[in-house]
Amino acid sequence: MIVSEEKVRQVAELARLAFSEAELRNLAGEFNRILQAFAKLNEVDTTGVPPTAHVLKVKNRFRADQVKPSLPRADVLKNASAVKDGSFVAPPVME
């Protein structure tokens, strides 16, 4: 058992997901099967092999520092559930 139900609950909370006890149990089982499969990779000797950050052979893709038109505000706010003073309205967040 690599991942406990408690760990799954914690990750779910960080991801703002709610699960029933049964679901948590199931997920923990699935996680463990997946992780065990990946654990096989640990058997490969990677001495001297640099970690891979990206699988593509592409690098250094940049854009020039040039301003392009932004979206009209009406479009930006079109899908918002609530709008006030040109802004999205979000549930209160206290710092």
Partner 1 sequence: MDFEAVIGLEVHAELATTAKIFCGCSTKYGAGPNTQTCPVCLGLPGTLPVLNEKVVEYCIRAGLALNCRIAGYSKLDRKNYFYPDLPKAYQISQYDLPLCRDGFLPLASGKTIRITRIHIEEDAGKLIHSAEEERYSLVDYNRTGVPLIEIVTAPDLATPEEAVEFLEKLRRILMYLGISDCKMEEGSLRCDANISLKPAGTPQLGTKTELKNINSFKALGRALAYEIERQSELLMEGKAVKQETRKWEEAKQRTLPLRSKEETQDYRYFPDPDLVPIELDPAYVAEIAASLPELPEAKKRRLIEEYHLPEYDADLITGSKHLADFFEAVLKHYFSPKAASNWIMGELLRLMGEAGLTPEDLTVNPAHLGDLLRRIDQGEISVSQGKNVFERVFRTGASPEEIIEAEGIRQISDEAWLRTVVAQVLKDNPQSVGDYLGGKTKAAQFLTGQVMRVTKGQANPQVIKVLLAQELAKVRKKTEETAGLARENKDL
Please give the residue ranges that form the binding site for partner 1 (CB under 8 A): 10, 13-16, 53-54, 56, 58-71, 73, 76-77, 82, 84-95
Alpha carbon distance 77, 70 (integer Å): 13
Q: Considering the complex, state which of residue 40 and residue 84 has its C-beta at the smaller distance from partner 1.
A: 84
Instruction: Quote the least distance from Cβ 58 to partner 1, whole Å.
Output: 5
Which residue lies nearer to partner 1 by CB, 48 or 86?
86
By residue count, the chain amounts to 95
Q: How far is the CB of 54 from partner 1 (least distance, A)?
A: 5
Ramachandran angles phi, psi of 83, nearest 5°: -135, 140
Q: Are 74 and 41 in contact (CB under 8 A)?
A: no
Residues 28, 4 contacting (CB under 8 angstroms):
yes
- Mapping DSSP to helix (H, G, I), strand (E, B) and coil, where does residue 46 land? coil
- Nearer Cβ to partner 1 (47/70): 70
Least separation, in Å, of the C-beta of 5 and partner 1? 15
